């Protein structure tokens, strides 16, 4: 009975934490209500649901020491002195969480995003921090009062239950105390991860998008202490200023302003297919010279499709992780030192490809056969403007589950084809395959049907290639097929086995295929232009004759007149800047090496000293990219044209008005 009362008191105090956190969220909304117009009752319920999920994670982050101290299996934990110690631990950490939430009640209106660890970097060089703090307290005294009242309420609620100082002397004390501690640790892991699914990672800032309809509402779902924890060890970006604004934009700009012409917008369907771990090496089409001309690859269908498609011989990923691919392909935003979705800037205002097409009347959707929370894709896609998500839950047939990652590619691609046929045209849809993933299994019924190779992934790649063939067999029977643009690529490269691919070039070499049935414009091989994942958005919009200004870090590879900078960029322990036939390693401070991957495919000859002019030119270009990328992410400047005007509707615009924030 004594133990039962102890644990009830413990659970009550954790519930108090959640109540206080939710109250902070309510105050955040009340004080910033003009920034969150248009939220209906159902929207609010969804925000509260999402907020509860983030509050649970925050509870475990900030109360881990309290929880551990309260549940340690020793009999004297009920002693008055020890309980007083736990009270101070509880108040200290939760008081800090409340303080962070209270600060953002005001600070949010200046930055238009929750405060992250970057605030320490932003004010690191200020010599008048005390004066700034004093001014804040003077101007916003009522927030200081709110903070004090919340602390008083927290302490008062905490003490509504009392722990008897009498120790528990039951025989089974150590057994049940140890079991409860283990169960609590397991629950804490689930709370921090967001659920208990195999493929779920700890929830991060971008997951808030799952619970909102408008991007700015993610800040109602999030709380500031969570944002602070999740960005604590993230490498911070710092603004760079290599060029003045005019010179910078002359070298490289992510602003696309298509020249208006008499042609009207082409309302063609757009289908993007992202294949898990499909390195360029696995195809036969790109590699007919390998193995003395005998290499045939592992993707017979994809090879056959390439003969009727637009192919760029030099095609690259902008990252090495699956979570790098979607922002790159769908929004033209590559990863940097960290994947974009794991940075504090994932909540920046942006207008992605699906968002722009949705504004043109497109039905937008995304298909991924994994459990719906996998990789944080569902939340990210909502932030990117995708209206409808189809995952393992929607497929609703676990007989086709591979037991690890999701629904086998063959049945899920058929589900994809059938579901597309039910959409009103025009539609934009993306599918992300799952089967060519560790442990690299194929369905039992296929036995030895697919060619094996020197690395395990190749057999499962053969299976996914077959699934893709069957998808096209089904799709070409549908009325929408002939007026659809298909973009087929990979999320990233993977393990390689030929020496030519065990290089900095091979690390990021993937297929990128543009296929539109019967369109001769999208056929043939271009051996001079470079295409990368962030080029997909501007290229697709160009093909559709989209004539409004938009933002994307990539280029339109169909532009044969303007000749934009012919480059690809990836950050892997430094920048790998590919331009024409050369690859430059730039570590952020200086160039380290330069290679001609066309004449030196094994990267044996460093040309940095032999071709200093070319190295200097490429370094200039990568610096221009760095300046645009870094400064725009920090300043939340990922929109252009009419979308900038939408941002200005905020009553607190411009977003950065606090002196000394850089």
Residue 203 pLDDT exceeds 70: yes
Same domain, 406 and 548: yes
How far is CA 434 from each of CA 222, 236, 369, 449, 490, rounded to the nearest angstrom? 29, 32, 7, 19, 11
Same domain, 217 and 332: no
Q: What is the pLDDT of residues 462-475, one digit of tens each?
A: 999 999 999 999 99
Residue where a domain terminates, one of 555, 589, 608: 555
The reported pLDDT for the residue numbered 198 is 61
Same domain, 379 and 459: yes
Q: What is the pLDDT of residues 530-574, one digit of tens each?
A: 999 999 999 999 999 999 999 999 999 998 777 789 999 999 878
Other CB atoms within 10 Å distance of the CB of residue 288 = 14
By DSSP bridging, strand 582-586 and strand 591-596 are antiparallel
| pLDDT range class, residue 404, cuts 50, 70, 90 | confident
Does residue 198 lie within any of the structural domains? yes
The reported pLDDT for the residue numbered 429 is 98
Domain coverage including residue 180 = 2-230
Share of the chain above pLDDT 70, in %: 92
411-422: average pLDDT: 98
244-271: average pLDDT: 91
pLDDT averaged over every residue in the chain = 89
| pLDDT range class, residue 657, cuts 50, 70, 90 | very low
494-499: average pLDDT: 90
Same domain, 224 and 327: no
Alpha helices in 159-306 (DSSP H): 173-193, 218-221, 224-230, 245-251, 290-293, 300-306
Which element (helix H / strand E) includes 270? strand 269-275
Does residue 210 lie within any of the structural domains? yes
How far apart (Å, rounded) are the C-alpha atoms in residues 499 and 74? 60
Residue 65 pLDDT exceeds 90: yes
The reported pLDDT for the residue numbered 112 is 67
Other CB atoms within 10 Å distance of the CB of residue 607 = 17
How far apart (Å, rounded) are the C-alpha atoms in residues 384 and 429? 13
Residue 2 pLDDT exceeds 60: no
| pLDDT range class, residue 345, cuts 50, 70, 90 | confident
Same domain, 76 and 138: yes
Same domain, 290 and 197: no
The reported pLDDT for the residue numbered 650 is 42
How far apart (Å, rounded) are the C-alpha atoms in residues 641 and 357? 16
The domain tally of the chain equals 2
382-393 exposure pattern, b = at least 16 Cβ within 10 A, e = fewer: bbbbbbebbbbe
* Range with lowest mean pLDDT among 2-6, 432-436, 649-653: 649-653
Same domain, 283 and 143: no
Angle CA 227–230–236, to nearest 5: 95
* Relative orientation angle of helices 457-475 and 409-420, to the nearest 10 degrees: 20
Does residue 584 lie within any of the structural domains? no
Residue 110 pLDDT exceeds 80: no
Does residue 643 lie within any of the structural domains? no
| pLDDT range class, residue 655, cuts 50, 70, 90 | very low
Residue 123 pLDDT exceeds 60: no
**What CATH number is associated with residue 288?**
3.40.720.10
How far is CA 568 from each of CA 133, 571, 616, rounded to the nearest angstrom? 45, 11, 17
271-287: average pLDDT: 96
The reported pLDDT for the residue numbered 652 is 37
The reported pLDDT for the residue numbered 311 is 97
Residue 232 pLDDT exceeds 70: yes
Q: What is the largest CA-CA distance in the chain?
A: 87
* Range with lowest mean pLDDT among 238-252, 366-380, 508-522: 366-380
Same domain, 199 and 304: no
The reported pLDDT for the residue numbered 368 is 96
Same domain, 199 and 333: no
- Terminal-to-terminal C-alpha distance of the chain: 58
Q: What is the pLDDT of residues 309-339, one digit of tens each?
A: 999 999 999 998 888 899 999 999 998 887 8
Does residue 253 lie within any of the structural domains? no
Nearest to 486 by CA among 502, 475, 495, 470: 475
The reported pLDDT for the residue numbered 173 is 82
337-345: average pLDDT: 80
Q: Is 414 exposed, middle or buried (0-12, 13-18, 19+ CB in 10 A)?
A: middle
Same domain, 347 and 217: no
How far apart (Å, rounded) are the C-alpha atoms in residues 421 and 124? 56
Same domain, 126 and 187: yes
Residue where a domain terminates, one of 174, 196, 230: 230
Residue 641 pLDDT exceeds 80: no
Does residue 649 lie within any of the structural domains? no
Does residue 575 lie within any of the structural domains? no
* Range with lowest mean pLDDT among 194-198, 346-350, 622-626: 194-198
The reported pLDDT for the residue numbered 656 is 34
How far apart (Å, rounded) are the C-alpha atoms in residues 357 and 561? 25
Residue 614 pLDDT exceeds 80: yes
Residue where a domain terminates, one of 555, 579, 605: 555
Q: Is there a cis peptide before residue 386, judged by omega within 30 degrees of 0?
A: no
Same domain, 408 and 534: yes
Does residue 574 lie within any of the structural domains? no
């Amino acid at each position: 009975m004594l133990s039962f009362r102890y644990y009830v008191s413990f659970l009550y105090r954790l519930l108090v934490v959640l109540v206080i956190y939710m109250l902070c969220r309510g105050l955040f909304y009340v004080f910033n209500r003009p920034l969150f117009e248009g939220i209906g009752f159902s929207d609010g319920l969804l925000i509260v649901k999402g907020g509860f999920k983030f509050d649970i994670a925050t509870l475990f982050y900030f109360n881990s020491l309290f929880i551990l101290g309260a549940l340690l299996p020793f009999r004297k934990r009920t002693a008055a002195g020890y309980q007083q110690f736990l009270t101070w631990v509880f108040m200290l950490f939760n008081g800090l969480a409340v303080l962070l939430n209270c600060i953002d009640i005001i600070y949010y209106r200046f930055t238009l995003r929750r405060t992250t660890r970057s605030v320490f970097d932003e004010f690191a060089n200020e010599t008048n921090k005390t004066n700034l703090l004093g001014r804040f307290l003077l101007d916003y005294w009522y927030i200081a009062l709110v903070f004090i009242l919340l602390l008083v309420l927290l302490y008062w609620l905490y003490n509504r239950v009392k722990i008897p100082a009498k120790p528990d002397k039951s025989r089974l004390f150590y057994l049940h105390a140890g079991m409860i501690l283990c169960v609590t640790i397991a629950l804490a892991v689930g709370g921090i991860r967001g659920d208990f699914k195999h493929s779920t990672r700890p929830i991060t800032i971008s997951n808030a998008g799952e619970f909102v309809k408008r991007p700015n509402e993610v800040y109602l779902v999030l709380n500031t202490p969570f944002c602070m924890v999740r960005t604590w060890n993230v490498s911070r970006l710092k603004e760079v200023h290599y060029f003045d604004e005019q010179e910078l934009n002359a070298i490289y700009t992510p602003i696309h302003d298509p020249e208006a012409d008499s042609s009207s917008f082409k309302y063609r369907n757009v289908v993007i297919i992202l294949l898990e771990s499909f390195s360029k090496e696995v195809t036969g089409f790109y590699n007919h010279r390998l193995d003395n001309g005998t290499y045939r690859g592992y993707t017979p269908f994809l090879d056959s499709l390439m003969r009727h498609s637009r192919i760029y011989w030099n095609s690259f990923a902008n990252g090495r992780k699956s979570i790098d691919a979607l922002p790159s392909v769908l929004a033209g935003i590559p990863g940097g030192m960290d994947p974009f979705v794991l940075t504090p800037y994932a909540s920046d205002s942006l207008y992605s490809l699906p968002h722009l097409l949705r504004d043109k009347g497109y039905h937008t959707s995304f298909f991924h056969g994994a459990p719906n929370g996998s990789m944080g894709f569902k939340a990210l896609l909502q932030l990117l403007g995708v209206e409808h998500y189809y995952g393992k839950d929607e497929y609703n047939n676990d007989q086709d589950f591979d037991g690890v990652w999701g629904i086998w590619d063959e049945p899920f691609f058929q589900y994809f084809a059938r579901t597309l046929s039910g959409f009103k045209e025009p539609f934009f849809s993306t599918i992300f395959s799952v089967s060519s993933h560790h442990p690299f299994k194929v369905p039992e019924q296929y036995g030895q049907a697919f060619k094996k190779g020197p690395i395990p992934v190749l057999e499962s790649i053969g299976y996914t290639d077959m699934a893709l063939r069957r998808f096209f067999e089904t799709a070409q029977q549908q009325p929408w097929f002939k007026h659809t643009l298909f973009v087929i690529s990979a999320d990233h490269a993977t393990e390689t086995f030929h020496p030519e691919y065990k290089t900095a070039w091979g690390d990021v070499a993937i297929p990128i295929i543009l296929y539109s049935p019967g369109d001769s414009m999208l056929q043939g091989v271009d051996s001079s232009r470079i295409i990368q994942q962030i080029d997909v958005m501007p290229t697709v919009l160009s093909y559709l004759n989209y004539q409004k200004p938009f933002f994307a870090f990539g280029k339109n590879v169909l532009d044969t007149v303007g000749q934009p900078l012919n480059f690809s960029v990836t950050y892997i322990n430094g920048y790998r800047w590919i331009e024409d036939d050369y690859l430059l390693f730039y570590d952020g401070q200086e160039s380290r090496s330069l290679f001609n991957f066309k004449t030196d495919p094994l990267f044996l000859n460093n040309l940095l000293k032999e071709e200093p002019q070319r190295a200097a030119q490429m370094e200039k270009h990568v610096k221009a990219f760095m300046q645009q990328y870094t400064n725009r992410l920090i300043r939340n400047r990922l929109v252009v044209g009419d979308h900038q005007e939408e941002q200005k509707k905020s009553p607190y615009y411009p977003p950065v008005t606090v002196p000394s924030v850089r």
